[in-house]
Structure 1
Amino acid sequence: MVASCVGFVLIGALQALYGPAIPALRDEFDLSPSTAGLGLSAHFVGGVAGVLLFDRLYGRIGNRKILGSSYLLMAVGAVGFALAPNWPSALVMALLAGLGFGGIDYGLNQLFAVGFGRRSAAMLNILNAHFGIGAILGPAVIGAVGADHYPAVFLAFAAANLPLLLCLRGVRDHVPAPLSDEEFPEGTAVLRRSLASVLTMFVTLYVLHVAVEAGVGGWEPTHLETVGYGAGAAATATSVYWLMMTAGRFLVAPLALRFSAQAIITVSCAGMTLCLLLAAVPGLAPYAYGGVGLFIAPIFPTGLPWLNRAAPRARRAGALVIAASMVGGVVAGPTLGWAIEWSGVRAVPLLLCVVSALCLAATLWLTRATRTR
């Protein structure tokens, strides 16, 4: 369990290292800003491919081999990115590291979702909170050593993956059986709609909430500066947003032992929608964005056990929603950018509020569709 949490710190750090390294990458390879940003895009493409690939192997070659090969791929990709002689080679290595990233993200989330019974939601929140710790530490390390030394940071990151290979003996090598009714006294979910429609709505929920997450993270500084805050205050408020997201997952872990996933996600979507509405008021915006981070935090990890109980026979459901969340992060940027060009930067919180309201609607639909007898 400890090694798994460390693994999530590392994948959170890897995802966050590309952005701060962009200035040095532009100087080294003579890149435009958009071309330099392709490093993170290649990482996400590899992540989606990793989720889908390792889902195909899940239950066939053993969980230890899946996780071990994922750690190795991520380490090799990080080393290759640090030492790449040209930009095309660096993109290939970022894709390779993303492949390992996707395998770890999918593998550990899936194992935690099915391996802890009633405690799965709590344990998944703790696991994913460590992703946030890594996302905070990664840019901090780049800032401390300087962007010009990004190769050394990537090499150190790659080396940190290797000891985790020694900790895989505690992972069961075969897929656990579906959860029984005895593990859930409230009863196993009975679908009142078709399985396809339920899975479609889960995918919609994940795509939309990740779009809100990425939208706030990407556009909060610009919005705050537009409504009168200084660049330093805007950057600090954005850091607080990510910090609140990490804290929110730790805080909700004990609540997940007492309340259902449906209740937690419904409250989260409602609170997120209200906070985005308040963010349209300039004087409240920095605090409201912090509230968004707090409320959005439990949705991703808490939804996975709910999905497994609602569709226990749909083995690929977890891979589908995890891959969808990554696609949502990729698509959110250009889509939101187009909407902002049409409506103006001041409308950012209202645009995201509409997306958040759709998340709430999807959650309410799923609550009715998976209601227990």
Structure 2
Amino acid sequence: MTDTVTDPPAADRLFARSAAVASCVGFVLIGMLQALYGPAVPGLRHEFGLSPAGAGLGLSLHFTGGVAGVLAFNAIHARISNRALLAWGYALMAAGGAGFALAPTWPLALAAAFLAGLGFGGIDYGLNQLFAVGFGDRSTAMLNVLNAHFGIGAVLGPALIAWLGPDAYPYAFGACAVLAAVLVFAGSSGVRTRAADAPPAAEKARPLGVSRVLVGFLVLYILNVAVEASVGGWEPTHLETVGYTATVAASATAVYWLMMTAGRFLVVPITLRHAPELILAVCAAGMTVCLLLTLIRGVAPLAYAGVGLFIAPVFPTGLAWLNSALPQARRAGAWVIAASNVGGVAAPPLLGVGIEASGIHAVPSLLTALSGASLLATLRLIRLTRRSTS
């Protein structure tokens, strides 16, 4: 299945070229900021006298702020311009990053993490939503390019902490705050300032078919991000359990995240020729097969890398599919992005419960079951979207 690719007229483009570049830098920033909390844990424990669980609250508050930010910015988007939405998102990240770097007490640091998360959610929602509609038939490709830069940031963040040392985490968060402050102006200029259109009556009515399609997307995103986060969280433990060294296991996990970044760049030419739903079906099948292969010890590290490659296009490509399947539901993207954050937060600990009951060797089977459910959800969603447009 192929599509004819056309660019929107210049007058209808939401982004100037400079604004598109700045948006990619913005996604490097949010990827970097999210990835700093984990490597900073030793420094946080030393600075504030925290337990490991207490230090982990920083990332939890960041994610909580992220979900709140997505929903809050979605609620006000119809009343403010696109430029204002992005400027406020970057400003909140700048304030939160600086606050976390300078906080004299742990409660103030947690409040700053929540504030940074609010801005994170605003930028995550705002840029994904605008890229989904701002590049015409190239929107799917541009969404993958945008989200690939998140992966670049997620690699740079831990590398920066490794270079500076965990006790120097304030400098890393401070650097993020400075970059966010620059983007308050550079990241919103070149973006059309028109306010988002008010939701049409069709969205308010919520026909049954639209409701089922939206629920289908929510389920797909929860399952997909659950697989993504659980592989990243449990891959090293599984590989060490089956006999790989800690160094090999850590390196294989880094390769998994790098393949997610590479996969989003590699899929760009494919998105220009094939429909999003076909790409997602192939990706869901591919990652399920790769997870089955992780049952074989000798190929497990390579199989996990394959999972990263296949799962990479799902999040951005699914947003483009959502926009074409439910053009009348302008707020659907926000609910889907919020749902993906819920999946990322809830899945790893829930998977841990299953591992406690079945043993660490059950990781591939549990992950395959999640991925298989994602494949079934994708196929079901394809039928639903075809039915709703027929």
Report TM bin, short chain.
over 0.9
Mapping 1:218-229, distance limit 5 Å: 218-229=233-244
- Provide the C-alpha distance between the structure 1 equivalents of 2:351 and 2:324, rounded to a whole number of angstroms: 33
Question: Equivalent of 2:191, from 150, 171, 182?
Answer: 171
1:248 maps to what in 2?
263
- Provide the C-alpha distance between the structure 1 equivalents of 2:50 and 2:41, rounded to a whole number of angstroms: 9
2:6 maps to what in 1?
none
Question: Equivalent of 2:60, from 22, 38, 41?
Answer: 41
Is the counterpart of residue 322 in structure 1 residue 342 in structure 2? no
Instruction: State the 1:177 CA deviation.
Output: 6.7
Mapping 1:11-160, distance limit 5 Å: 11-160=30-179
1:181 maps to what in 2?
none
- Provide the C-alpha distance between the structure 1 equivalents of 2:267 and 2:128, rounded to a whole number of angstroms: 17
Instruction: State the 1:369 CA deviation.
Output: 1.2
- Provide the C-alpha distance between the structure 2 equivalents of 1:300 and 1:203, rounded to a whole number of angstroms: 12
Instruction: State the 1:59 CA deviation.
Output: 2.3
SS at 2:38 equivalent: helix
Instruction: State the 1:172 CA deviation.
Output: 1.3
Instruction: State the 1:176 CA deviation.
Output: 6.5
Instruction: State the 1:120 CA deviation.
Output: 0.8
- Provide the C-alpha distance between the structure 1 equivalents of 2:238 and 2:229, rounded to a whole number of angstroms: 14
Instruction: State the 1:195 CA deviation.
Output: 1.1
Instruction: State the 1:368 CA deviation.
Output: 1.1
How many percent identity over aligned positions? 65
Question: Equivalent of 1:302, from 305, 317, 338?
Answer: 317
Which AA in structure 1 matches 2:230?
A: G
SS at 1:258 equivalent: coil
Number of aligned pairs? 361
| CA offset digits 1:187-236 (Å, max 9, x no partner) | xxxx9961111111100000001000000000000000000000000000
- Provide the C-alpha distance between the structure 2 equivalents of 1:192 and 1:176, rounded to a whole number of angstroms: 22
1:5 maps to what in 2?
24
Instruction: State the 1:161 CA deviation.
Output: 1.4
- Provide the C-alpha distance between the structure 1 equivalents of 2:334 and 2:114, rounded to a whole number of angstroms: 19
Instruction: State the 1:175 CA deviation.
Output: 5.0
Instruction: State the 1:33 CA deviation.
Output: 0.7
2:379 maps to what in 1?
364
- Provide the C-alpha distance between the structure 1 equivalents of 2:147 and 2:46, rounded to a whole number of angstroms: 34
SS at 1:170 equivalent: coil
Q: How has the CA–CA distance of structure 1 residues 192 and 290 changed in structure 2, closer, same or farther, with 3 Å as cutoff?
A: farther
- Provide the C-alpha distance between the structure 1 equivalents of 2:267 and 2:195, rounded to a whole number of angstroms: 27
SS at 2:78 equivalent: coil
Instruction: State the 1:258 CA deviation.
Output: 0.3
Which AA in structure 1 matches 2:124?
A: D
On the 8 A contact 1:192/1:369 being kept in 2, the answer is no
Question: Equivalent of 2:349, from 329, 334, 341?
Answer: 334
| CA offset digits 1:1-57 (Å, max 9, x no partner) | 000000000000000000000001111111111111110000000000000000011
- Provide the C-alpha distance between the structure 1 equivalents of 2:154 and 2:266, rounded to a whole number of angstroms: 18
Unaligned 5+ segments in structure 1 are 179-190
- Provide the C-alpha distance between the structure 2 equivalents of 1:227 and 1:325, rounded to a whole number of angstroms: 30
- Provide the C-alpha distance between the structure 2 equivalents of 1:177 and 1:59, rounded to a whole number of angstroms: 6
TM-score, L = length of structure 2: 0.91
1:183 maps to what in 2?
none
| CA offset digits 1:44-98 (Å, max 9, x no partner) | 0000000000001112111111110110100110010011111111100000000
1:278 maps to what in 2?
293
Instruction: State the 1:332 CA deviation.
Output: 0.9
TM-score, L = length of structure 1: 0.95
On the 8 A contact 1:192/1:370 being kept in 2, the answer is no
Which AA in structure 1 matches 2:309?
A: L
Instruction: State the 1:169 CA deviation.
Output: 2.3
Q: Which moved more, 1:264-273 or 1:329-338?
A: 329-338
Question: Equivalent of 1:289, from 304, 323, 346?
Answer: 304
On the 8 A contact 2:284/2:371 being kept in 1, the answer is yes
- Provide the C-alpha distance between the structure 1 equivalents of 2:340 and 2:228, rounded to a whole number of angstroms: 10
- Provide the C-alpha distance between the structure 1 equivalents of 2:137 and 2:237, rounded to a whole number of angstroms: 42
Q: Which moved more, 1:122-131 or 1:331-340?
A: 331-340
On the 8 A contact 2:79/2:196 being kept in 1, the answer is no
Which AA in structure 2 matches 1:275?
A: C
| CA offset digits 1:330-365 (Å, max 9, x no partner) | 101211110110111111111011110111111111
Unaligned 5+ segments in structure 2 are 1-19, 199-205
On the 8 A contact 1:114/1:176 being kept in 2, the answer is no
- Provide the C-alpha distance between the structure 1 equivalents of 2:298 and 2:362, rounded to a whole number of angstroms: 15
On the 8 A contact 2:87/2:185 being kept in 1, the answer is no
On the 8 A contact 1:42/1:91 being kept in 2, the answer is yes
Aligned CA-pair RMSD: 1.4
